[in-house]
Structure 1
């Protein structure tokens, strides 16, 4: 057996150089699947060479600052690893962002917070991901790695790079972000000394050396991936295999294949995934495949991130030992990011825990050189067997959170111990058993969520609840494989006897919780206030409520789910492929489904969507297109999924529908969103979470699909949208809003709906002038194309202007060809085919032609103008933009000559028929203003005031109609020149 090298490095660069010196041909194999995938090998020598070249480029171009944080975000392991090391060698401190979901309020808040926390840091990402951060271009100094060439001649003249960590071993080497479960996300600071000590101690105690293979399938930003696997393996000189998390989660049976095929010695699984993998072994693996499994090389399959159920570990151990794994290879652990991942290991599982009749496995003993104490509220050590707060000390403990002294102080005792926020006890053998959490944190599928945040999200989404009387906590039900979520609430009107109403309310609460944390609650119970007593300081006791629930005291209040309605649609209406995929995901669960069955009712959470995506793609192996996860997540029922598949498989079988439903229901009037010149609805998606109790419809331009032609006039546009609105939402009241070009559409639709006798409560536009023709003519003719490319993240503002100057003399068609040829690789990485881009360009050009010929006529009783700072291209100051451009709306509103509001962020809420709402950002730096939480709050307040006043109310319909009749053309809404 190969011995570990005795020389111990003192810095991370020294660790990599040691691996190159002793094991130059060992390295990391990047695989794209869980099957027999030999992947692409990047040796440690190649990693060092590539990272050094990129580090020189980063320094030459001053893209990072030595000694300062540099933010990294990539979705593939190869880029994450190489640029992590390049940043370290350049002397900067890599800060790795966690995986980003679709644009949401949560993501926006995280990015805003990180920008402030790290003080607008450099940010390395890739072109294909740049669109995720399009609303935050001012918050970071973003560089796409495709724009960096390490072969630049200027970098070759630089001298050899020195080790930036040498002499600074106790200074920061890496930042990883906490989950944000107990407040804003914190940046855990890891020093060179801490990470080296962790790697050395773990390699020695786990008996790892260069003969071994490590398997990682957790995103690279996680402490498990960096501390427990990547750096640990490098210290041992071991080979590493990296597989994308989406591939593993989508095919749990592949976990066993990967461990066997790659002869893995060390890997990881949270309890919830291990339970799924156990079931997949029994249900999905063919006997021939089972016979080929060989786990004889496995030494440690460590399980952490959540409590480990002994029954789950037993099943996994039986699978492992059946295929020649050594005893006790399955290892429950305990640790946090702040402790370099695992710091306690149970080396006797599962037999030790079975013999002690434990339901949840102990986490064993601590790594040598570190200390544990269990204390009471007075910091007095508790006797053996009693429960106390878990506090730790030693070389593996973090020293501080970056730029957050308050958070650091709150978890450090005066005598230097780290308070984990968890409670535990030591059993008779001195093994630590985790008992609970002192902080209000929910762990769902291995992810941390604040119970306070979840309760707030549910109460905001479901206004029928009594505020302050919602309690959430996690329980481990007897037959469950992971902790399940429980929500208790009090109905606002105390209607606990109306079972039908309660059933609807329970479903609303469950849906809101699912949207917040990606997992459907196992139990949702409406309770009278008497069952939700508060303390003298107004707090609900979750622990007392949990005991009452488990004791059965709330059973009589539980509401049974309604039986599915099979009268109209049944299984036969769904495609066989979808049904087969659903059954794979549900893994034999005895449940009947039909077209109206919702995904959330089947328990399909964030992990379930990945599994469903993978299962459907397996049913269509020959089809070129892969499913869009975002589109799949948007499907609420099996009928939605089936329709999406039909659309994907039969692109020609398509009928234009101008309305896209973004939110299905709510008690407040429907909000209808008019498109910008690009015609797309994507810009509105992050607005949806701000309005949980409102149906939201977005209007989508014609021309995106094959066989469709763009609109040719404003009349045609308004007629089509009006008909689509009446079909989808036959009667009001209506709320209308549009961005730029869409604001004029909202204005025209507002007049049309009012003329038909419908109630329009709200009508408004974002950063668009009433005289659209005048505004558009101030922009160059190539502007639609440049705006499109910027929206896609293919170019940045200055790059677009340079291309416009260089190619502006060309005709529009030639300009389009030149742009597409030059940017084809970037467009491909952004997931845009040339055909789709051309269609988008035609729609934008059509919008501009319509706008050039448009002159607003008539008046509307009220209008809200949301405007930003003056666009640079207009060469005017903010006051001039406000007075001369936005002020034109005065001519379009009855009694429009109202008092203007000052250009200030702290302006009073505007009043009057015409209202102005100032958004202090330039449009060049806010590709989609509706995506910001600031705009969501501003719009919410504007809607609230209009709804309260009912300016367009039915009670005033007769007089308003007469007023409009005096000011609006009787036959045509607008004058259009063909």
Structure 2
């Protein structure tokens, strides 16, 4: 009796997976129970077209190919490698293998690198016990010469007649059905064994948690060498008798919006995609001149896995597509591995359950899968919230790797749990991943995870999204790993100034996020990024290429470009300049002879934190005490700072000038930014670096920091002083002004003065401040102001800032400030070069500015404003926008623009968010100024 004859009788639309005894049964049952459903192939640009191959037709085609395999001498147990790119070629061949009891192993071609492709095929041949390679005529012509490789042309197999006695092999549950090669270099990939029992258990569990039925319509665009495409987007819908739509990666990546059009045209209900496509779609939508005609209301599930899911990307995707009927709960971040039959853990509460997080949790496991988190290198299970190695156990987990006992032993604990290699934490049974141990960079004993940096850098203007790779290298003699950032750009090939700006932006973003500089920045063409079919960059391969010298030409070109953009190399002269060059070299971890005497401290890579480190080194190395931060800001090169130090304290005396030039290059209209309520401008230092070679960036600093300076006595005096200073620097408009927090009200008053004098203010920005600040200033007594200053300087936490005012209010002013200094981290005080007298003077100045704010009542009008709003100090963001921030509309003639920016009031320009903020700000400046 054949398996066809022994299968249960037709039962309507009962899910095939509930009756199947092996994976081959899934197709046979689907062909019998839902003969009008099947696989539709959309392989052209026309979204409404596509050939439907019903499940009975797919079964017939697979049986024909099976007959061809038999004719080639292949039988049960013979591994078949499938090198087939088209879905309408791959799927019938895949089912032929399953029907014949032959483990199938999907593969992809490695074009433009014959040597590596040959190495891959040689390795696979040995690993898979000399498989039969089935490919198309087109690909067969491209194959490198590999001795001993047996190749079959799919067209020849398809031409075989089906004999009347062709039987379907009755595979046992423990038999291997699928072999999937792991990513890795050509010589060390492993073959994951997935049995019939693994696959059936996974399909049943997935269908249950996703609520899939035969009425669903699914969409896949991923190639089948990726386990999620084959299992999540093909076997799963087939297991419930659903209709499925398949297209190719190039049709989607070439036009990301085609993904949405296919969903609309075919009323797709479920699909799978990695996070990076969501980002591509977001960008494509933002560039549309008008809305699309789409109805996405049919879609009830997007499973997103294969890489970390950025909360902001997913939320922006949902927001952008809500007008087209997309449900807010449609997106499920997921986690799975080849070893777990793809997705096995789903986050079913996104985005609400991930509010405030950078990366989405991956959620809870399917039925039958257990998760535990253990201490790294041990077996002790950790408590909720503790980070450790994630381990899994269940019927969908592989038994191991083909012909690799060592790898199998390493992958499992003594009690049978699979070691994922991922680090994560459990919170009430909900899993969040911290990073993958093998995708980490260890610098000075600390782990940093590649995907975190890559997601941050992808937000920079000029970076080609999905072409950023952060990976380690270890130069000879180095006692720690060093960070390499490789990226492709969207810049014109001959625009050296823009490329230099981008290099600075990338470097500063890394420094602010991780606290150290990358050792190497590598702008590379897109084709230099080796990727898997899912779009994942193969970082280990890029590392090996770097360390073998493959990128030497690019490294030299970058070094030459930077030297030219800094005005050429000027050697230090004299003892003091030489000493300063040595200090700069120590800060930037380069050789002293690499420091040009005329290069700006900030162009070399200095950040606001480095200013404070420089102050400390000047004291230790040269005995320079009490050098004002302003001296470094206004004399940032070795030569300028040398001249400033030789002039001595007399340089601190003279007329007060509020203008602090943080960045002076670029031909576009300068931007003037007014300080927040603490009076200082260090908050703008990191932001200003993103404007290099684009537009000058000047900050306005309050009066009263330097010896002999008298603080402002009124709001009007402050505004007049700033307006005069701006006109002294730039006599005529158009002007670009902005203010952060308290400074927004000052910038508004300055703009009124300039417009009253007949000048144009084409850009006026408010960074998270409404027009009415008096009520907030009235809340701030001296201790509230001092505590806010301490939080602004990272001396205390946000929680401490909430609790301390009430606790300290009964004390004297001296005792209050002394307590704040006493509880501050000593290392932070050292970085800031801050002691009690200095902090007291700063607190007094900030309190004086708060007092001026208590007298402020906005009046009059300016032409228009751009208001950047973040999470407020209290209340919801929406209430902040609608009830407070929008009140700027009462003070402008023309409509205002309101721009949502990430972060909170005190963090919107901090290390975590400055890259996003600068991108939004620079685009708005271009819109307001340069389009005129």
The alignment's TM-score, normalised by the length of structure 2, stands at: 0.50
Give the greater-gyration-radius structure (CA). Answer: 2
The structure with higher relative contact order (CA 8 Å, sep 6+) is 1
